[in-house]
Amino acid sequence: MANRLYALPGSHPSRTGALMLEHKGVPYKRVDLIPAAHRVILRALRFPGHTVPAVTIDGRRLQGTREISRALDEIKPDPPLFPKDADRRRAVEEAERWGDEVLQPVPRRLSWWCIKRDNSSVKEFLVDAKLGLPTSIAVVTTPPIARISGRLNRSTDENVKADLAALPGMLDRVDRLIADGVLNGEQLNAADFQIATSLALLRCFEDLRPWIDSRPAAELVQRVVPDYPGRIPAVLPDAWLEAGRSAAPAA
Ligand SMILES: N[C@@H](CCC(=O)N[C@@H](CS)C(=O)NCC(=O)O)C(=O)O
Percent of the chain with pLDDT over 70: 97
pLDDT of residue 90: 98
8 lines ligand 1 (CB under 6 A): yes
**225-251 confidence digits (pLDDT tens):** 999 989 999 999 999 999 767 655 554
Average pLDDT over residues 174-185: 98
Residue 140 has pLDDT above 90, yes or no: no
Sorted by sequence, the CB contacts under 8 Å of residue 9 that are 6+ apart come out as 32, 35, 125, 126, 129, 131, 138
Q: Which atom of ligand 1 is nearest to the CA of 39?
A: 17
Higher pLDDT, 121 or 18: 18
Atom of ligand 1 nearest to the CA of 50: 17
Q: What is the mean pLDDT of the chain?
A: 93
Ligand 1 atom 1: the closest Cα is on which residue? 100
Mutate to test the pocket of ligand 1, among 45, 52, 63 (most ligand atoms within 8 A of CB): 52
CA of 156 to the centre of ligand 1 (A): 18
Residues 205-212 have a mean pLDDT of 96
Q: How many residues does the chain have?
A: 251
Q: Which atom of ligand 1 is nearest to the CA of 194?
A: 19
* The pLDDT value given to residue 247: 59
What distances in angstroms separate CA 96 from CA 2, 84, 174, 191, 197, one per listed residue? 28, 16, 11, 4, 12
C-alpha 104/C-alpha 203 separation (Å) is 13
**Atom in ligand 1 nearest the alpha carbon of residue 152:** 16
52-61, 115-124, 159-168, 186-195: least confident range: 115-124
Are the CB atoms for 53 and 38 separated by under 8 Å? no
